Structure formats: C-alpha cells, structure tokens
Amino acid sequence: GLTVRQLAGQRIIVGWAGPRVPSWLLARVRRGEAGGVIAFSRNIRSRRALAAQMRRLQRARRPLAAPLLTMIDQEGGLVARLPGAPSGSPARMGRRGVAFVRRQGRLTAANLRGAGMSVNLAPVVDLGRPGSYQARTGRAFARRPAAVAALGTAFARGLQEGGAAATLKHFPGLGAVGDDEDALIQTVRLSAATLRRADAAPFAAGIRAGARLVMTSTARYPALD
C-alpha cells in the first residue's frame, strides 16, 4: 500500500544543515518518505540536544511500521562525531586485541544510544595496506585479512550487543587507495581474485557474525566492472 514516493524514500538516508531538525525533514519523515537520517558534526550542539532532536523525529507519526534509522559515523580516531567511546582509532584499538575491541564496541553503542542514534556507520574493515590512506590515518584495524576480520567482527558484535546496528565498510574494500575517497575519486587496481580472497574476507566474516548493514565504496574497481 505504499506510494512510489514512500517506496523510494525508504531507500534514502537524509542529512540536514544545522543543530535543529528542520520542518521539511520532519514533514518528509511524517509522509514516510525517508528511511532514516544521518547526523554529522554540524548537527551536534551537545549529546543531550542531539538526543532531543532524534526523539522528535522518532515520535513523528509515520505510515510505516519500520523504525526510522538514526545514523552516525563513530569509528574512533579521525572519524568520530561524538565525544566518548570508542577510546581511539581502529588501529590503536586493534593493537589491544579482540577482547578490548569488543568492549569498545559495547561502550560505543552506549554512547550512541545515549545520543538517540540506532546505527553506527562503523566498523571500517578495509585492509591497512602499507602506504594506504586507511593505514596512514589509523582507520584500519590491521593489515592482514584474518586480523581485520577478527577485530572488525569483534567491534561489530560489541556494537550490536549494546543495541546499535553495525555497518561494515567500505565494500569491497578500500585498503589499496592513497587518498580519501570522499575528497577524490579513487581507483582500486587489484585483481578480482585478490579482492575476493583478501579484501572481501573481513566483510564475509562480519556478515556471518550478524552485522546488520554494509556500506559500499565509491571507488572504481576495473577488475569487477
């Protein structure tokens, strides 16, 4: 019984400009024309204020049974929108081992839930190949597929044990790019066999462990298409 606009809207995550949810976004949510919202630093005056804005959206009457997704990037280190958990970058956490990373996932979930967020756009499960952007910035847990799989899965499990959905990113892997894909289009010149054997392995592990979402990369992959 959904309209075309509602069907399309459920596949769109919406951002906004300032610390207060604008009337147009609230109206769109009420019409059932948004699958969720994403908060960036520009939207956060304080944890308490963000939580109040998320409650405002969640209480809006919607013609859908599905919950409105409230998303934020809270990887730790370079990419952290909220103060608090996790305690460091993925690389720093990874050096402490799987048990530590899982605890950080649970603490991060509590941090997000306290701000009204239901989805963490983390963990990064790209390989930290030497010289890559992910390795230089500490966004990768480790270099080798097995280590990234174990650590990324631990963080995802911790998040979901704490009540926040985990997102594995950036599929099929950004462990071989030199710059930030958000700033400059990147090309991953790995073979399809390498992508499937090495780069996709942490994603497969995370999916088997129950991670709820996967974020795709925006890089080019000539070996795949």
> How far apart are the C-alpha atoms of 108 and 115, rounded to whole Å?
11
State mean pLDDT over 123-141: 98
Is beta strand 119-120 parallel, antiparallel or unpaired with respect to 79-80? unpaired
- E strand segments, 172-225: 213-216
117: confidence class by pLDDT, cuts 50, 70, 90: very high
**Tokens of residue 114, six digits:** 């306290």
Contact 162/114 with Cβ under 8 angstroms? no
**Tokens of residue 87, six digits:** 């305690």
First to last CA, the chain: 36
Q: In which residue are the tokens 């995550």 written?
A: 13
**Tokens of residue 201, six digits:** 């392995």
> How far apart are the C-alpha atoms of 13 and 119, rounded to whole Å?
12
- E strand segments, 15-113: 36-39, 69-72, 74-76, 79-80
81: confidence class by pLDDT, cuts 50, 70, 90: very high
**How do residues 15-64 score in pLDDT, each as one tens digit?**
999 999 999 999 999 999 999 999 999 999 999 999 999 999 999 999 98
- E strand segments, 53-187: 69-72, 74-76, 79-80, 119-120, 165-171
98: confidence class by pLDDT, cuts 50, 70, 90: very high
Interior angle at CA 119, CA 129 and CA 102, nearest 5: 55
**How do residues 173-207 score in pLDDT, each as one tens digit?**
999 999 999 999 999 999 999 999 999 999 999 99
Report pLDDT for 32.
95
Q: For residue 112, what are the CA distances in angstroms to 69, 120, 180?
A: 13, 8, 25
**Tokens of residue 143, six digits:** 């270099």
**How do residues 152-177 score in pLDDT, each as one tens digit?**
999 999 999 999 999 999 999 999 99
What percentage of the chain has pLDDT greater than the value 70? 100
Contact 130/178 with Cβ under 8 angstroms? no
Report pLDDT for 112.
98
**For residue 59, what is the enclosing H or E element?**
none
**How do residues 50-69 score in pLDDT, each as one tens digit?**
999 999 999 999 998 888 99
**pLDDT of 135 higher than 90:** yes
**Tokens of residue 85, six digits:** 């958990």
